[in-house]
Amino acid sequence: MSDYREMWEKLGLDLQAHDGLLEILPPLYRETILSQENRPKGMEYFDFVFSEIHGLRVKELVDHRAQGGLVVGTFCTYVPEELIIAAGGICVGLCAGAQVAEEATEQYLPRNLCALIKSSLGFKLAKVCPYIESCDLLVGETTCDGKKKYYEILGQFQPVHVMELPQRKDDVDRALWRSEVRRLAERLEELAGRKIEPESLREAIKVVNEKRRALLRLAELRKSDPPVISGRDALLINQIAFYDDPKRLAEKVNALCDELEERREKGIAIGGAHRPRLLLSGCPMAIPNWKLPAIIETSGALVAMDEMCTGIRYFRHLVSEEAADLEGMLDAIADRYLRIDCAVFTPNRERIEHIKELVGDYSIDAVVYYALQFCDPYTVEAFLISQELEKEGIPFLYLETDYSTEDVGQLSTRVQALVEMLTSG
Ligand code: SF4
Ligand code: SF4
């Protein structure tokens, strides 16, 4: 990595703590990602982006701000990226996939809160995330209780705008959500000092849809059996999609898909003999959280698809491009985002149906449910999902964990038992 120390210092990072973080990432990446054999050449771009995670992309954000542009951080797939882009901004999904500054975090937050929220504050308190420090605005949402109360604390450090997300999908909820989309647009206009024009919003809708189409194309290729891409590489791409430039990302994902199609035709597969195909479902896995996919894929199985916000939930629905005017586009955006089936909704039948659909479409042998400890929406919703899958005879493995590595042995044992059961039949 080039020398970015001056940039990090200007962003207010704690250089010593930041050096410590950067020392941990490369070995972890080598061990979980680069150690895989026969990876497609198209993954080199994503390896490069990761190697520059706190370098080149952050420099792009800094340069963008120097030219008067906005940088807006988000924590959830409900925040419409299109509005941020149309206001001349760059949207960055703020990762929170590692345990950082635990002691300091516990002075603000209870210990029994999900790892994702604690990690998010940990990065802020430890001053080790150049992304959050580059943001003009952080956009939160009233999804789970932990997050919405956390945003009040985060607001003590940086400007935060919270969108009120309804928890049902009736007409009254849609009307509320539509007004929240408008309210975010107004906040962004105020901050950018410019109006969101219909043409810029139309263009932003196209750009984000193109990114989604590319990711959908990759998702289609994950139906291949034998597989042409590992679950770990697919997850890495999805994680990078939250912060990379959307046009460039779409181009690189499409180039990778061209290569994967070619490899499929030539019969070049990832890994050896047939491996059980698992669906990972549950809480998001923010970068660099690869713990469970690495356990699964080194235990003789494949993560064939991820039903989570760092998986297909992020890109499966497009925004309609039919709207004639600005209000119509805001409607289309509100509609698209309200279709997301996060466990914070009730009832949430769509999610159960979607999981069953994925099981069929991706020839899934078993569902592994990834629940972060203390995450009420996902831990509680697991029951209904397991009940439905049981009716269909689909094996279901519930794993509750956090960001520590202490339970790796225990998780491996349970995953291996599942793999053995699936391969011995
Ligand atoms: S799981 Fe729910 S709350 Fe979390 S990022 Fe996804 S949509 Fe947002
Ligand atoms: S993982 Fe669960 S508890 Fe944590 S932020 Fe997401 S919905 Fe909330």
Q: Which parts of 52-137 fold into alpha helices (H)?
A: 56-66, 81-86, 102-105, 115-126, 130-133
Whether pLDDT at 271 is above 90: no
Distances from the Cα of 376 to the Cα of 344, 345, 381, 389, angstroms: 9, 12, 8, 20
Distance 306 CA to ligand 1 centre (A): 14
Task: Using the structure block, give the residue that is written with the tokens 């309210």.
Answer: 183
Distance 79 CA to ligand 1 centre (A): 10
CA of 147, closest atom in ligand 1: 3
- Who's near 369: CB < 8 A, 6+ residues apart? 281, 282, 382, 385, 386, 396, 397, 398, 399
pLDDT band at 3 (very low <50, low <70, confident <90, very high): confident
**Residue 78: CB within 6 Å of ligand 1?**
yes
The C-alpha atoms of residue 130 and residue 8 are separated, in whole angstroms, by 7
Look up residue 399 and give its two tokens. 């794993």
The C-alpha atoms of residue 149 and residue 216 are separated, in whole angstroms, by 34
The C-alpha atoms of residue 135 and residue 256 are separated, in whole angstroms, by 30
Distance 77 CA to ligand 1 centre (A): 6
CA of 342, closest atom in ligand 1: 2
Q: In terms of residues, how long is the chain?
A: 425
The C-alpha atoms of residue 361 and residue 150 are separated, in whole angstroms, by 38
Per-residue model confidence as pLDDT tens digits over 222-231: 999 999 999 9
Per-residue model confidence as pLDDT tens digits over 273-304: 789 999 999 999 999 999 999 999 999 999 99
Best mutation site among 75, 109, 143 for ligand 2, i.e. most ligand atoms within 8 A of its Cβ? 143
Q: If you take atom 3 of ligand 1, which residue's CA is the nearest one?
A: 143
In the chain, pLDDT over 70 holds for what percent of residues? 99
Angle (CA) 318 214 78, round 5°: 40
> Is the separation of the CB atoms in 154 and 121 below 8 Å?
yes
pLDDT band at 1 (very low <50, low <70, confident <90, very high): low
Per-residue model confidence as pLDDT tens digits over 376-386: 999 999 999 99
**Strand runs (DSSP E) across 334-383, as ranges?**
366-372
Per-residue model confidence as pLDDT tens digits over 27-54: 999 999 999 999 999 999 999 999 999 9
The C-alpha atoms of residue 346 and residue 177 are separated, in whole angstroms, by 15
- Who's near 419: CB < 8 A, 6+ residues apart? 276, 299, 300, 301
Distance 65 CA to ligand 1 centre (A): 28
Look up residue 423 and give its two tokens. 């391969």
Q: How many CB atoms lie within 10 A of CB 383?
A: 10
The C-alpha atoms of residue 328 and residue 121 are separated, in whole angstroms, by 37
Q: Cis check for the bond before 395: say yes or no (omega within 30 of 0).
A: no
Q: 246-266 vs 198-221: helix axis angle to the nearest 10? A: 20
Determine the pLDDT at residue 2: 61
The C-alpha atoms of residue 139 and residue 161 are separated, in whole angstroms, by 5
Distance 145 CA to ligand 2 centre (A): 9
Distance 264 CA to ligand 1 centre (A): 33
Q: Which residues line ligand 2 (CB under 6 A)?
A: 114, 116-117, 143-144, 146-147, 283, 372, 375, 377-378
**Residue 344: CB within 6 Å of ligand 1?**
yes
